[in-house]
Structure 1
Amino acid sequence: MVEKNIVEVDKNDSKTNINDRGAELIKGVKSGISIAIGYIPIAITFGLVAKSSGIPNMVSILMSLLIFAGASQFIGVNLMAHGATGLEIVMTTFILNFRHFLMSSSLTQKIYDKTTKKLLSVLAFGITDETFAVASLCSEERISPWFMLGLNFIAFISWNFGTWIGIFLGDAIPSSLKTSMNIALYAMFIGLLLPAIKESKPVFVVTFIAIFINCLLKWIPLFSFISMGWSIIISTVVAAAIGAVLYPKEVE
């Protein structure tokens, strides 16, 4: 009789645990709806830019499925369109997305301790700037990994959905309009950069240094052997190093 009661209690605990997971998953999806709405038009733009750059549809789709990093995908498409080597593309996107290591490390301090490493690996893949911001601003001291999974899931689905739409539209719109979509890449980066430049002097200085170094590498004949991909890598690393020296502490 006692054993039967224990089994019933275990079943009830299991059901409660599953219900809690489902509730947290749904809560995460709801919290990510605003992110999803913002991702779709950007992902559509990515699909259009990739199409206009001559990138095969399957490559564009796999980039959104396996990379899932907007800025890296845009810069990757641009580098591929200019004939950059695989190493240049990998190095550039690695530097661009290095912050994800920091974001993942930070969130592990906020997620429940008993979360398995396999689940943490899945969560780390889905972290973006926006999902990190939402999770970090949660009022709870600890957040459920299932909440994070729901948050990442809705962002991932919306990004891939938008990519498919962009690729589909790329087949329907005139070639002249597709070609003009290449400017969307630069417009997006300028749109992301200007607010940060206005609010932060260090960002302005480091950005100017990176632009200056890249111009030198492009226009001085001595450096003509350096490809565009390596120019971006060198400019980014050198500008970041100078910024670290000039601004060793976070500016209040």
Structure 2
Amino acid sequence: MNQERTRYKRGALPAIARGIRGALPIGLGYFPIGMAYGLLAQQTGLSVWAVAGFSLFVFAGASQIMVLPLIAAGASIWSIVGATFIVNLRHLLMSASLSPSLSSWSRTQRVLLAATLTDESFGAQSARAAEGSLDPDEALALNATAYIAWTLSSVIGFTLGLLIRDARAWGLDFALPAMFIGLLTPLCHARPALTAALCGAGVSTALFRAGFGSGAVIVGALIGATAGLFVTELVPEGGKSHDA
């Protein structure tokens, strides 16, 4: 039994190393975003334990940053939980899209992947899934590395918040959208993906400006995914956005 475990560990090391390497760009990108979150949270009045706790147990930058104005405004706990739930519903769509690549995974591995899946790691996992099935050791190592980077950077940001008076004056509140746009762009080389991205962004923006709040993200994602599926049926497999 011990020999089998040793062989497994040795075989898993290359996959784990690949996962860590794959997470380095995400982790490096997380540092300015996590620091921005920690800084804004400190200026909102949260303690360092609350900042670290949110990062450890919520681990969703968009919702963590989104609830800060609600906390500052004295919103009820149920309003904060409800808003967080709505914003994070998109994770159901992301997990569902990866599900076909997880058929050989154990239930524990699937739970761990779902619990640590973010917009950025989803982009990386989707790119790998498009090339074939996902290796659980590699995928979980990628997510774990990003998880550590996010939590650490948020605590560092809290410390910086003691020194910087106004984080928004530096544009740090736009760090998360900027990073996700950068991750999304390389995935939009095919017509279905490009259509889904444009439709989702357009609908979400229009609904948000019309006063739908955070629910606009979910509706936009559903309409974007539907549009992408529709184009998939029309465009031959492998069709690129530049094809005639």
* Amino acid of the structure 2 residue aligned with 1:85: S
Runs of 4+ in 1 over 6 A off after TM superposition: 192-196
> Which of 127, 134, 146 pairs up with 1:143?
134
The 5 Å alignment of 1:83-102 reads 83-102=74-93
Equivalent residues of 1:112, 1:144 under 8 A apart: no
> Match for residue 219 of structure 2?
240
Deviations 1:134-168 (A, max 9, x none): 12212652222111111001101111111111111
Secondary structure of the corresponding residue to residue 211 of structure 2: helix
Secondary structure of the corresponding residue to residue 172 of structure 1: coil
Secondary structure of the corresponding residue to residue 77 of structure 1: helix
Give the distance between the partners of 1:124 and 1:26, measured in 2 at CA: 21
Question: Who wins on radius of gyration, i.e. which is larger?
Answer: 1
The number of residue pairs the alignment matches comes to 216
Q: Judging changes above 3 Å, is the alpha-carbon distance between structure 1 residues 18 and 201 closer, same or farther for their aligned structure 2 residues?
A: closer
Q: Judging changes above 3 Å, is the alpha-carbon distance between structure 1 residues 128 and 208 closer, same or farther for their aligned structure 2 residues?
A: same
Q: How far apart are 1:22 and its partner, in Å?
A: 2.1
Give the distance between the partners of 1:144 and 1:247, measured in 2 at CA: 25
> Match for residue 235 of structure 2?
none
Equivalent residues of 1:64, 1:160 under 8 A apart: yes
Give the distance between the partners of 1:180 and 1:137, measured in 2 at CA: 33
Secondary structure of the corresponding residue to residue 33 of structure 1: helix
> Match for residue 203 of structure 1?
201
> Match for residue 238 of structure 2?
none
Deviations 1:35-74 (A, max 9, x none): 1010000000001100111122211110001111000000
* Amino acid of the structure 1 residue aligned with 2:216: T
> Match for residue 5 of structure 1?
none
Give the distance between the partners of 1:141 and 1:37, measured in 2 at CA: 26
Q: Judging changes above 3 Å, is the alpha-carbon distance between structure 1 residues 193 and 208 closer, same or farther for their aligned structure 2 residues?
A: farther
Equivalent residues of 1:48, 1:181 under 8 A apart: no
The 5 Å alignment of 1:168-179 reads 168-173=159-164, 177-178=165-166
Q: Does 1:117 align with 2:96?
A: no
Secondary structure of the corresponding residue to residue 143 of structure 1: coil
* Amino acid of the structure 1 residue aligned with 2:49: M
Equivalent residues of 1:44, 1:162 under 8 A apart: yes
* Amino acid of the structure 2 residue aligned with 1:122: L
Q: Judging changes above 3 Å, is the alpha-carbon distance between structure 1 residues 32 and 190 closer, same or farther for their aligned structure 2 residues?
A: closer
> Match for residue 53 of structure 1?
44
Give the distance between the partners of 1:152 and 1:201, measured in 2 at CA: 28
- Structure 1: state its 5+ residue gaps: 1-9, 215-231
- Structure 2: state its 5+ residue gaps: 185-193, 232-244
When normalised by structure 2's length, the TM-score is 0.75
Give the distance between the partners of 1:247 and 1:111, measured in 2 at CA: 20
Give the distance between the partners of 1:21 and 1:105, measured in 2 at CA: 26
Secondary structure of the corresponding residue to residue 52 of structure 1: helix
> Match for residue 222 of structure 1?
none
Give the distance between the partners of 1:68 and 1:112, measured in 2 at CA: 25
Equivalent residues of 2:33, 2:176 under 8 A apart: no
Equivalent residues of 1:76, 1:89 under 8 A apart: yes
Equivalent residues of 2:27, 2:146 under 8 A apart: yes
Percent identity, please.
27
